Amino acid sequence: MGIAGGAVVVSMLIVVGGRGRSIHRGVPKGRSINDLFVIVLSDEEEEEAEEEEEEEEEEEEEEEEERKKKKKKKKKKKKKKKKKKKKKKKKKQYTSAAGGVIVFTGLGPTTGILVPEE
């Protein structure tokens, strides 16, 4: 039959070894394809193997969901930025001919108050 013909037969059956995984999931650790031996399991054993596979798949899905949630949390943390403080502009003072100081109020370029010097 050869390796190719044997693979077709093996893929239909459950490989005994490791944790009862089917052949399409890969060869169990520490074994080569030549070392595998195949047994047709009874209905009860087959159901147990299927349940184990389903539980493993559920656990993998839960782990993936947890990883996704952690990634989302990390992204949210990165979005927060510190606000820069605005520097306050000092009001310009000009000495007037009348002997006082003109302080510009900021309402317009020419709006100012004449403050007499003491």
pTM above 0.75, yes or no: no
Integer-rounded Cα Rg, in Å, for the chain is 40
pLDDT at 21: 45
> Which position has the token pair 């949630």?
69
Q: What is the pLDDT of residues 24-78, one digit of tens each?
A: 455 555 555 555 555 455 566 677 778 888 898 999 999 988 888 877 766 666 6
CA distances from 29 to 21, 36, 88, 100, 108 (A): 11, 11, 69, 93, 81
